[in-house]
Structure 1
Amino acid sequence: MITDTRNSTALPTLMALCLGVGAMFSVTTQAAEASPTMTSTPASAASLSSQQQAIPLIAAFMATSDMPNLNTALNQGLDAGLTISETREVLVQLYAYVGFPRSLNALNELMTVVQARKQRGLDDAPGREPNRAIPVGDELLAAGMANQTKISGAPVKGPVFEFAPVINRFLQTHLFGDIFERDNLDWQSRELATVGALAATPGVESQLRSHMAASLRVGLSAAQLRQVTELLEKHGDTQTAKRASAALTLALAPAGK
């Protein structure tokens, strides 16, 4: 079970990226909130695959630095068919939401898990590195802006970006550019990871709601997201599950789901 003893004031500086994402989604229109589909991702289904089920649990235990439970979740994810590359990518992406220290510690735990599994004769699929070349300069900014607009449901603007325009440029060029252009992990998996990590993090409820809405836009169904809350309740922490459930209820309200 997760035991979260952290104080929101102790969150890493890089949580600013997460806060920027939450502010980004908060300025989208109601029409965007009600348009949860995206042609670039797989069609939604009634339930999560076994690989998808592992991702929010890995993310939640990473976010709370619960290494024993993270070790178990990593093993379960690899047993379910996650490749080493996919699992590693989840932990890399989440540095933008829970900070470099937790990401580095989790990556070290993954290395330990993979080595131990090899010693037990388990041959996990390595997966692949990104196939698509990551653009640079103005092309990276353009790609990031396009990805940001797809995920948010509308072009992004708002007072926070007028007050600190550089944060949106960081979001566009790095989070939605450098990271989301990496095609070794699909967008549904990326959102499942983000939802799991934010649900385990007190004080970022508005960002969690935003990512629940984004999860719908990239093709996850309401039933699949309800399954996420059930998994967090069963295997994680009660408060984590409550935050996830409340955020999903709010995200579904504009769409009448």
Structure 2
Amino acid sequence: MNKKRTAFLTILMTLMFSFPAIAEAKNMEKVQTLNARQQAIVPIAAFTANGDLDKLKPALVDGLDAGLTVNEIKEILVQMYAYAGFPRSLNGIHAFMAVLDERQTKGIDDEMGKEAGPTPADLDKDKYGAEVRAKLAGLETDISSAKWQQFAPAIDTFLKEHLFADIFVRAILNHQERELATIGALAAMPGTEGQLHFHFGAAMNTGFSEAQMKDFISVLDVKVGKKEAESARKVLNAVLVSRK
């Protein structure tokens, strides 16, 4: 009887110590990949940026089915004009309108989601934008006195006051989601490796792990294209080396 009792206690203790370990392992596993909503952001941003509307439409449907609200997707499409220009952003918006019309005729009622609040009237856009950019760059103070800033100070002002203030202050998407959309767009466009390098780092500074950024490459590979994924992988590898 004592042997049976000892064996039972041994099994019980093993299970007690195993369950926390299993739970911890599952939690670690969860942060190794992007969730469904995050994965859906990537092709929406990519196909808006490169202008592939035929692929954008199913990506928009996938985004809605993954749990993105109508206003969250609209916000991604609006943000894209800062990286791909007004024409691509507007084309994406028109494509999204068509998708929503089609879904409504089928009786699908998509969640609108929260609206963006007004920009505070007393917002110091230069200061706010500089603080956001510094945080994304992993710096205590914003970058300054770079050659390009001295050569064309107007573009630096627009970056701080418009992109990192007017756009980033809107509450529909958080900074992490915005950076995910940004790297999705930049990875889909040729000649933007320098900007992609910065924004890979910015995405990780918002809390994305190395494994999640590698999963981003996998999403690119499957959803966008192998060429884009391979090009982005080279940039990410350089970023990971520099961060170590």
Instruction: Find the partner of 2:202 among 214, 224, 230.
Output: 214
Instruction: Find the partner of 2:111 among 105, 125, 133.
Output: 125
1:70 alignment counterpart: 56
Q: Is 1:239 aligned with 2:227?
A: yes
Counterpart of 2:237 in structure 1: which amino acid?
A: T
| Higher deviation after alignment, 106-115 or 148-157 | 148-157
2:147 alignment counterpart: 159
Instruction: Find the partner of 2:125 among 133, 140, 147.
Output: 140
Between the two structures, name the one with larger relative contact order (CA 8 Å, sep ≥ 6).
1
Shift, 1:254, TM fit: 1.9
| Higher deviation after alignment, 108-117 or 133-142 | 133-142
- Taking the TM superposition and a 5 Å limit, the aligned residue runs for 1:29-48 are 45-48=31-34
Instruction: Find the partner of 2:178 among 183, 190, 197.
Output: 190
Q: Which has the larger radius of gyration?
A: 2
Distance 1:123 1:49 in 2: 23
Distance 2:188 2:107 in 1: 33
Shift, 1:130, TM fit: 1.7
2:84 alignment counterpart: 98
1:252 alignment counterpart: 240
Q: Tell me how large the CA RMSD over aligned residues is.
A: 1.4
Instruction: Find the partner of 2:41 among 55, 70, 90.
Output: 55
User: Which consecutive residues of structure 1, in runs of 5 or more, have no partner in the other structure?
Assistant: 1-43
Counterpart of 1:150 in structure 2: which amino acid?
A: K
Distance 1:124 1:216 in 2: 31
TM-score by length of 2: 0.83
Q: Note closer, same or farther for the CA distance 1:189–1:139 as it changes in structure 2 (3 Å cut).
A: same
Q: Deviations over 1:25-80 (max 9, x none)?
A: xxxxxxxxxxxxxxxxxxx9221110100111111111121111100100000000
Distance 1:138 1:115 in 2: 37
Distance 1:45 1:144 in 2: 29
Q: Note closer, same or farther for the CA distance 1:138–1:189 as it changes in structure 2 (3 Å cut).
A: closer
Instruction: Find the partner of 2:159 among 171, 175, 190.
Output: 171
Shift, 1:117, TM fit: 0.9
Q: Is 1:107 aligned with 2:93?
A: yes
Counterpart of 1:152 in structure 2: which amino acid?
A: A
Identity of aligned residues (%): 42
Counterpart of 2:125 in structure 1: which amino acid?
A: L
For residue 241 of structure 2, give the secondary structure of its aligned residue in structure 1: helix
Shift, 1:136, TM fit: 4.7
Distance 1:77 1:219 in 2: 22
User: Which consecutive residues of structure 2, in runs of 5 or more, have no partner in the other structure?
Assistant: 1-29
Distance 1:163 1:255 in 2: 28
> Runs in 1 of length 4+ with deviation above 2 angstroms?
135-138
